[in-house]
Structure formats: structure tokens, C-alpha cells
């Protein structure tokens, strides 16, 4: 970093912050998917029908890994 200009150092710092923000958002997305799928798996049949889903739809969604959208 000693040979970098102020602009280059600022850009590197900015890109590191952007990376950290992207990692944070990814982890938060994964946590939300996991929570939503767990809640879906616990819904009673009548509520599933109320939101237009059936057991097959529930199974397909709740068996996905958290990293898959």
C-alpha cells in the first residue's frame, strides 16, 4: 500500500467494504431462506391450501438447501 496513490488506496478499501457488504447480504439471505422454509414445513394443511400450495409444493421448497433460491 506504500506505493499506492490515495485514489488507489481508497478504491481498494471501497472494494473490501463492498465485498464485506455482499458477504453479509448473502448470509442474511441464506438465514431468511432457512427460516422461511422451516416455517413452511410447519404450516398446517389448511393454511397451505389457503396460500395455494399443496404437499408436493411444500416438499419441493423445503428440501432445497438454503443456498439455493
Q: Which domain holds residue 19?
A: 8-62
Contact (CB, 8 A) for 48 and 54: yes
57 is a domain residue:
yes
Q: Name residues whose C-beta falls within 8 Å of residue 34's C-beta, 6 or more positions apart in sequence.
A: 66
Residue 4, pLDDT score: 65
For residue 2, tell me if it sits in a domain: no
- Report, as an integer, the average pLDDT of 9-13: 67
Does 44 fall in a domain? yes
What is the reported pTM?
0.71
In a domain, 39, yes or no: yes
Confidence of residue 8 (pLDDT cuts 50, 70, 90): low
What total of structural domains would you count in the chain?
A: 1
Cβ burial, residue 48 (10 Å; 0-12/13-18/19+): middle
- Is position 1 within any domain? no
Amino acid at each position: 500500500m506504500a506505493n499506492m496513490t490515495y485514489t488507489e488506496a481508497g478504491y481498494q478499501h471501497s472494494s473490501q467494504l463492498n465485498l464485506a457488504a455482499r458477504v453479509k447480504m448473502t448470509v442474511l439471505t441464506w438465514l431468511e431462506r432457512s427460516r422461511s422454509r422451516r416455517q413452511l414445513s410447519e404450516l398446517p394443511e389448511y393454511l397451505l391450501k389457503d396460500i395455494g400450495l399443496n404437499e408436493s409444493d411444500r416438499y419441493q421448497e423445503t428440501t432445497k438447501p438454503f443456498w439455493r433460491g
